[in-house]
Structure 1
């Protein structure tokens, strides 16, 4: 009977984790200990040699006492943690990638690491559509002005009115799980969807009714551009000043993926000149952005505090994915979402599903 340490937070709570684990394992198949990390009431950040973590190394080491398995969203799993808890065999991280785990250290320690791809795909896709509509139709701006007593009837003037998604070409930079759902919703609105993703299967995109193009072509043809790529050294600032200059006059740009994909420097001037028609952001190069951030005073900007994936379904889905992987591990099977497959030879798990 394994002991499972649950390091929840105020989004994927210990209660949510435990319910998922008991459903998959049975209530008497494991023992549990629980701790709650301060995120999101306190921002995550780098801790030791990992990024986007919450809590502390010392707290993680204490919480893992006696545990063979740990599940978490935000706890830091650093080299120091693995060294202090040699009995640990598996870490399940309920995020799209285990960014709060030192994978090299886990592999050296013989600890299997799993993650939860697609956990927030539906939530992030729906939120992206909301940002697109909010930016194209100035919904937040007119809401705020009307609450101040300003009736902006002039937005009915030809030079001020918004545009519709029906008949609009929307370019998606990245076509993973989120991009695919966004494309499907946009097509229901009547948009033509084009995409740039050098790693995607062009035939799969074609089957979805999405046209594959090069990045320059996408930028030149799209009235709306939405970012959905992972942040890697190759994609950092993939939308830089040169790329922004390729956009049609008055285009709308949306980023609910990762702040590092976009060079924010040129954006205020582009918005003030009308070269960029509107900007919608859920992610930033620095989170949270400073109070004097230039984009806060630029026109036609919609902002939200990194909330695209924040739904109750995301939290329960994430816990369910991790719990199924834990159940497979306990049964001696290979979990479905392994981040460091090099450990499998050491663990000698059964390949049967």
Structure 2
């Protein structure tokens, strides 16, 4: 039980973090916060990790060296570790199964940047509808073109299919309804009534891909969703449909998406997430003028980052008081973990 300790040791990586994270933790005099360097003094890094009770780690794979991601190997070197906290809704840098086997609770900050990500998803959709990348290209390099050559579409009346209807997907559904869109959703963890209450119509994944003018991903990257959208799935989509992802790289196959766009089967794509982040400058998808790219910045707003940092720090304070954290990824192990109150 953490509340029985004289000092609770929290460590985080030296990635950019809103200052409120450190400030909130400083309110508890029993918490000692150390910042780990991702490179440099490895001996000090492992000394701090070995004594850590809570490890706050970035959720972005490409921000965390492999040896500092939460794997079975790292867990074996951290005998005091009781909780892993990620810096976002994702947990790509954490082997949740290995943590569960070791009795370590994993928490995320789901919902903290949902509004930011939802707005970004809609921005990608609007950029595709109004052909903004093509407009920029022609304005810079084109000759003898007219405004009608860049004629776009309104999104009112279009069918938007949401794969995943958690915090972010729910915000997207609200925005899409405000634009006058029909919203379909597939989420195997929600019943039809819950999906309806979140302003969407529940359908199977096959029906969603077949009916949607736009497919937008809002599901986590797991063994079940890895490569979920491949050549077969893209072929199921409507001719000329748009594909959007603000979820995680790897849920869609980038090579298959490129082929579907190049062949003209899909009309465009809005991509905030990539297999490697940032993608290399010569990435094939970046050569297409009907692709709207961004660098995993959907949740990177001043408001989103501050909210995530505050939620993460407050959740750590709850854990230190002996309260059950509200955003557990592996809640089934909580009662058997060293976080749960005894007596």
Cα distance in 2, alignment partners of residues 139 and 57 from structure 1: 46
Encode CA deviations 1:70-122: one digit per residue, 9 max, x unaligned. Answer: 33325533444444443344333233244333445544554443222222221
- The CA RMSD measured in Å over matched residues stands at 2.9
Q: Is the 8 A contact 1:107 1:343 kept in 2?
A: no
Q: 1:240 — aligned with what?
A: 230
CA gap of 1:10–1:232, structure 2 versus 1, over 3 A, is closer
Q: Which moved more, 1:68-77 or 1:321-330?
A: 68-77
Can you give the 5+ residue segments of structure 2 that lack an aligned partner in the other structure? 1-5, 59-63
Q: Establish whether residue 70 from structure 1 lines up as the match of residue 61 from structure 2.
A: no
Cα distance in 1, alignment partners of residues 9 and 167 from structure 2: 30
Encode CA deviations 1:18-59: one digit per residue, 9 max, x unaligned. Answer: 11223xxx3534333334547xxxxxxxxxxxxxxxx99756
CA gap of 1:144–1:348, structure 2 versus 1, over 3 A, is closer
Q: Establish whether residue 21 from structure 1 lines up as the match of residue 13 from structure 2.
A: no
Q: Is the 8 A contact 2:210 2:237 kept in 1?
A: yes
Cα distance in 1, alignment partners of residues 253 and 130 from structure 2: 24
Can you give the 5+ residue segments of structure 1 that lack an aligned partner in the other structure? 39-54
Q: 2:124 — aligned with what?
A: 131
Secondary structure of the residue that 1:232 maps to in structure 2? coil
Secondary structure of the residue that 1:280 maps to in structure 2? strand
- Selected match of 2:336 from 345, 348, 351: 345
Q: Is the 8 A contact 1:172 1:195 kept in 2?
A: yes
Secondary structure of the residue that 1:324 maps to in structure 2? helix
Cα distance in 2, alignment partners of residues 69 and 261 from structure 1: 29
Q: Establish whether residue 193 from structure 1 lines up as the match of residue 183 from structure 2.
A: yes
* TM-score, normalised by the number of residues in structure 1: 0.80
Q: 1:173 — aligned with what?
A: 163
CA gap of 1:207–1:269, structure 2 versus 1, over 3 A, is same
Q: Establish whether residue 281 from structure 1 lines up as the match of residue 271 from structure 2.
A: yes
Cα distance in 1, alignment partners of residues 277 and 10 from structure 2: 29
Encode CA deviations 1:117-146: one digit per residue, 9 max, x unaligned. Answer: 222221111111111111111113323443
Cα distance in 2, alignment partners of residues 278 and 185 from structure 1: 21
Pairs within 5 Å for 1:45-60 = 60=45
Give the count of matched residue pairs.
328
CA gap of 1:233–1:329, structure 2 versus 1, over 3 A, is closer
Q: Establish whether residue 231 from structure 1 lines up as the match of residue 221 from structure 2.
A: yes
CA gap of 1:141–1:36, structure 2 versus 1, over 3 A, is farther
Q: 1:41 — aligned with what?
A: none
Encode CA deviations 1:298-318: one digit per residue, 9 max, x unaligned. Answer: 341111112111122222222
Pairs within 5 Å for 1:1-353 = 1-13=6-18, 15-22=19-26, 26-35=27-36, 37=38, 60-64=45-49, 66-73=51-58, 74=64, 75-107=68-100, 109-146=102-139, 148=140, 150=142, 153-157=145-149, 160-341=150-331, 342-347=333-338, 349-350=340-341
Q: Is the 8 A contact 2:14 2:35 kept in 1?
A: no
CA gap of 1:2–1:202, structure 2 versus 1, over 3 A, is same
CA gap of 1:285–1:86, structure 2 versus 1, over 3 A, is closer
Encode CA deviations 1:146-179: one digit per residue, 9 max, x unaligned. Answer: 3x2647753425xx52111111111112222111
